[in-house]
Amino acid sequence: MKIYNKYIAAIAVLLLLAGCKAPMATVIQDDVKNNIPENFNQNEQQDSNNNSGTTPWRQFFTDPNLVSLIETSLKNNQELMITLQEIEIAKSGIVAKKGKLSPTVRAGLGAGVKKAGRYTSEGAGDATTEIEPGKEMPDPLGNFEGGLMANWEIDIWKKLRTEKDAAVAHYLSTVEGKNFVLSNLIEEVADNYYELLALDNQLDIIQQYIKLQTRALEISKIQKQAAATTELAVKKFEAELAKSKATEYTIRQEITEKENQINALCGRYPQPIVRTKESFMSTIPQTVYTGIPSQLLANRPDIKQAELELKAAKLDVEVARKEFYPSLEISATLGLEAFKPSYLVKMPESIAYNLVGELAGPLINKSAIKANFQTADAKQIQALYEYDKTILDAYLDISNLMSKVKNIDQYYKLKSQETQALDQSITIANQLFMNSRADYLEVLLNQRDALDAKMELIEAKQKQLSTVVDIYKSLGGGWK
């Protein structure tokens, strides 16, 4: 018995020594996170107490029609529904990993029959065995059993707990992924809504331009009859009018497509989008406060998602590393067993039980375990780079958008001045043309320039509003 115990102890020592040779995970310094700048603009000091990214979207957006569209999209959007199911899948993963920490208990019933050869040790033993005086062992021999079976892996290295922790981190990352989808969805609905309002206003402008050109065509025809101009001027005005009417149909098609795009985000079939276009050009963009860059780590759901995926990847490496260690499993059975069903009720003769403890670990040919560890190690390095890339992209997005906000404001002011000047030049050109002091080309060029300027002014207003929405989303706003 002592020799037997020595063998067991020697095997256990060998297994422990084999586990001690488990490789270590690669450690990389996270320079991007550690060196994040104190401000988005080194020439300006930002206030950490003012951050528009923490403003709830219902407070940020004031247009009731836009708020209604966002509410509808949050209820019906298919991409969001898909993301919610990913959360449920991840939640089930936690339950599965947690279940491994507890013993597995099963109940079972079995029946069978066996005929051993007469001239075998088993057959000869059965033939000479008497169950009761005068009663030999039946041949063939039946077997009837029923009972409980348990199996339990003792988590001596906390491998199973680490697996559960990794599943929890992955679940939390899917929750942050849902928040990121929310933020993107709100941004996309708002951007498309402002683009639709811009198209409405451009349609109004082109219709006004068509009326103006129609009037200019009538004047050119009158002047031709009076020999004050030529047929060439009339044809030029006709061509310009046809071109404008064609542009009107192009804009109408773009409005239809934009409405359907918004309906798709709302998860519904095509229907009119309720909106008020008259106040579009007078809408003043929200003032956005950026806070400080380090707040992105807490406000941006995509950064938090990448951070949790990195945590899960590191835990997966620990799990893969602990596969090199021996595992301890305990299995047990307790039930009734007999060769005749009537004997199952005889106690304690029919009682059968079994208890086995097994300590086992890899000694030779660890290539599969090594490969799994190397894969997990590479994935955690990949997750770190993904995390750093997400932080860097977020910082650059806000830096670009802050510059864009300032430049688009100046662009809008200058376009407003240009539009006003060209409107005045159209009036002057028409008067000169009616008095034969300017030719038709001057009138046409002034009208074209004025139209282009007004179209660009509307686009500038749309970019003003959309840029504010984009920077709000980039700061982490929209999901709260």
Helix (H, G, I), strand (E, B) or coil at 428: helix
pLDDT at 14 over 60: no
Q: What are phi and psi of 41, to 5 degrees?
A: -120, 120
- Count of domains forming the chain: 1
Question: Given this model, what pLDDT does residue 343 score?
Answer: 82
Pick the more confident residue, 83 or 5.
Answer: 83
Within-domain flag for 151: no
Cβ–Cβ under 8 Å, residues 333 and 201: no
Position 444 confidence tier, pLDDT thresholds 50, 70, 90:
confident
Q: CB under 8 Å to 262, separation ≥6 — which residues?
A: 69, 189, 192, 193, 196, 273
Question: Given this model, what pLDDT does residue 10 score?
Answer: 55
pLDDT at 15 over 60: no
Give the CATH number for residue 258: 1.20.1600.10
**Helix 231-265 crosses helix 440-474 at what angle (to 10 degrees)?**
10
Tokens standing for residue 28: 């990389």
The sign of the CA dihedral 300, 303, 306, 312 is negative
Within-domain flag for 3: yes
Q: What is the mean pLDDT of the chain?
A: 88
With tokens 């936690």, the residue in question is 94
DSSP sequence for 201-267: HHHHHHHHHHHHHHHHHHHHHHHHHTTSS-HHHHHHHHHHHHHHHHHHHHHHHHHHHHHHHHHHHTT
Structural element, H or E, at residue 19: helix 2-20
In the DSSP assignment, the letter for residue 143 is E
Q: Tens digits of per-residue pLDDT, 228-256?
A: 677 887 888 899 899 999 999 999 999 99
pLDDT at 338 over 90: no
Burial 157-183, CB ≥16 within 10 A → b, else e: bebbbbbbbbbbbbbbbbbbbbbbbbb
Position 132 confidence tier, pLDDT thresholds 50, 70, 90:
low
Question: Given this model, what pLDDT does residue 423 score?
Answer: 84
Within-domain flag for 410: yes
Distance from C-alpha of 323 to C-alpha of 290, rounded to nearest angstrom:
47
pLDDT at 141 over 90: no
- Listed ranges 104-118, 198-212, 416-430; the one with the highest mean pLDDT: 198-212
Question: Given this model, what pLDDT does residue 268 score?
Answer: 95
pLDDT at 319 over 80: yes
pLDDT at 227 over 90: no
Pick the more confident residue, 50 or 464.
Answer: 464
Question: Given this model, what pLDDT does residue 436 score?
Answer: 67
pLDDT at 75 over 90: yes
Question: Given this model, what pLDDT does residue 126 score?
Answer: 67
Structural element, H or E, at residue 154: strand 141-154
Within-domain flag for 121: no
Range of the domain at 30: 1-102+156-325+365-475
Position 424 confidence tier, pLDDT thresholds 50, 70, 90:
confident
Distance from C-alpha of 222 to C-alpha of 224, rounded to nearest angstrom:
5
Helix (H, G, I), strand (E, B) or coil at 363: coil
Within-domain flag for 412: yes
As a whole-number percent, the residues of the chain with pLDDT over 70 amount to: 90
Closest CA to 472 of 303, 298, 291: 291
Q: What is the mean pLDDT of residues 19-26?
A: 77
Within-domain flag for 123: no
Q: Tens digits of per-residue pLDDT, 270-308?
A: 999 999 999 999 999 988 999 999 999 999 999 999 999
Distance from C-alpha of 266 to C-alpha of 270, rounded to nearest angstrom:
10
pLDDT at 349 over 60: yes
pLDDT at 11 over 80: no
Q: What is the mean pLDDT of residues 193-210?
A: 96
Question: Given this model, what pLDDT does residue 137 score?
Answer: 67
Within-domain flag for 168: yes
Q: What is the mean pLDDT of residues 204-224?
A: 87
Distance from C-alpha of 426 to C-alpha of 446, rounded to nearest angstrom:
6
Question: Given this model, what pLDDT does residue 478 score?
Answer: 87
The sign of the CA dihedral 89, 95, 101, 104 is negative
Within-domain flag for 375: yes
